[in-house]
Structure 1
Amino acid sequence: MTPANFAEVSRLMERYFDGLYHADSTSLRTVFHPELAYICATEGDELFLDLETYMARIDNREPPAKRSEPRNDQVLEIVFASERMARVTARMTMMERSYLDYLTLIRHGSEWRVVTKVFTYISKEF
């Protein structure tokens, strides 16, 4: 893939982390595909949501930024499978948990969008 593709996905991930930290569903809608599959894979807390249900949860969440939670997020890996498909592995801490996210991205028009978010929350230690 080209450096431009990496830059575009990196900018998308900045919006992703910012949107989650500020509980900004308007910004997050520019990150997620309209047919998003949101899946929590933590044992005992499995969850399967669509975009609208997930955005309603975001809208009802007190933003970590409002509570002045320290921000700790990072992209661990970006892998391009083709011109239209990529995968991002990311970690972040918020709401007293550390999360490990596997995000599948596809081209939606001329932009990359997250079409699946599968995550687990783990101990707060990185």
Structure 2
Amino acid sequence: MQPDVRAAIEQTIQTYFDGLYEGNADKLASVFHPGSALTYDNAGTVLVWPLADWLKAVRERPSPQARGLARDDAILLIDQSGPTTALVKVKCQIPPRYFTDYLNLLCIGGQWKVAQKVFATEVRN
């Protein structure tokens, strides 16, 4: 992977992390493709959460930052499968919920955008 490509992907993910922690839906929207969605397992049922609905939920909940919650986010893996496609595995948290996200990115018009997010949640006491 070329260093400039890696840096661009990492910047997209950093904006994602910052948006999550700050509860900044506009910042999050800036790194997602408008047609993207979030997909997850809920007790054996696959649920698809439209991006607009998720951003609305982010706007309506107190941010982790405002709640004084610990921040622990990191990129665990970047796998670029072609010049315009990449998969990024990350960890993040909103205690007591801990997330592993698989972010599928596409480079659109020279900018890396999340085209699909698939995530798992673990609740800890």
Name the TM-score class by shorter chain.
over 0.9
Distance 2:117 2:9 in 1: 15
Distance 1:69 1:122, change over 3 A: same
Distance 1:95 1:61, change over 3 A: farther
Distance 2:49 2:123 in 1: 23
* 1:37 to partner: Cα distance: 1.7
How many residues are aligned here?
Answer: 125
34-43 or 44-53, which deviates more: 44-53
Distance 1:15 1:29, change over 3 A: same
Distance 2:7 2:93 in 1: 23
Structure 2 unaligned spans of 5+: none
Asked if 1:70 corresponds to 2:70, the answer is yes
Q: Under a length normalisation based on structure 1, what TM-score does the superposition of the two structures give?
A: 0.92
Which has the larger helix fraction?
Answer: 2
92-101 or 82-91, which deviates more: 92-101
* 1:108 to partner: Cα distance: 1.7
Distance 1:90 1:30 in 2: 18
Deviation track 1:40-80 (CA, whole Å, cap 9, x = no partner) reads: 22435743112211111111111000011010111000010
Distance 2:5 2:46 in 1: 32
Query: Between the two proteins, what is the percent identity of the paired residues?
Result: 30
Distance 1:92 1:51 in 2: 18
Equivalent positions of 1:89-108 (< 5 A) are 89-108=89-108
Distance 2:61 2:86 in 1: 29
Letter of the aligned partner of 1:118 in structure 2?
V
- 1:11 alignment counterpart: 11
* 1:30 to partner: Cα distance: 1.2
Structure 1 segments (4+ residues) deviating >6 Å: none
Distance 1:59 1:75, change over 3 A: same
Distance 2:21 2:71 in 1: 8
Distance 1:106 1:61, change over 3 A: same
Distance 1:58 1:80 in 2: 29
Give the secondary structure class of the aligned counterpart of 1:41: strand
User: Are the aligned partners of 1:89 and 1:102 in contact in 2 as well (CA < 8 Å)?
Assistant: yes
Q: CA RMSD in A?
A: 1.6
